[in-house]
Every structure is written in C-alpha cells, then in structure tokens.
C-alpha cells in the first residue's frame, strides 16, 4: 500500500542548486506505449501481488446499497474505500 504521508523534501535547495528532480509515472502513457505482452505480464504481476497479500486495498466501510443514501456521506469522510453491496 502507498504511504498515507506525503513525500518529504528535507532540503529544497537541492532541487534549485544541485540539479535534482522528481519524475512521476503516468500509467496511461505506459499503457499506450507498452506491447500487449508487456501489459498482460504487468497485469498478471499486479493481480498476484493482491492475491498473495503484498498489496491490499484499505476498505473503511461496507454499505448495503439500500442504506447508501443516509450512510455514504459519513463513510466517504473516512480514509479508504467504501464498498457498496447489493
């Protein structure tokens, strides 16, 4: 799971005077550029990490669909995902 804390930059002068930089990863760009076999391999690796527990999704609430209107606003204020169930 990703950290709940934002990145900390101890000394911003390093970015100005030492030529340091931060680069991000754009999944949509990678998906367009990757070969079908690469995409399939990556998807399989992601699924395996969820299956074996290395990755997980934080679920803060499970709400029956019939109860969604009165409970959803409060549940969305919590950290994590809200699962709606039939």
pLDDT in tens, 35-55: 999 999 999 999 999 999 999
> What is the predicted pLDDT for the residue at 2?
59
36: left (phi over 0), alpha (psi -120 to 50) or beta: alpha
Helix (H) or strand (E) holding 85, with range, is: strand 81-85
pLDDT at 85 over 90: yes
Specify the pTM: 0.53
At which residue do the structure tokens 């809200």 appear? 82
């Amino acid at each position: 799971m990703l950290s709940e804390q934002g990145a900390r930059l101890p000394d911003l002068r390093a970015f100005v005077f030492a030529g340091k930089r931060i680069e991000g990863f754009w999944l949509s760009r990678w998906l367009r550029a990757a070969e079908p076999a690469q995409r399939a391999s990556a998807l399989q690796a992601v699924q395996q990490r969820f299956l074996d527990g290395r990755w997980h999704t934080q679920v803060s609430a499970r709400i029956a669909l019939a109860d969604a209107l009165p409970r959803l606003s409060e549940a969305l204020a919590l950290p994590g995902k809200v699962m709606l169930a039939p």
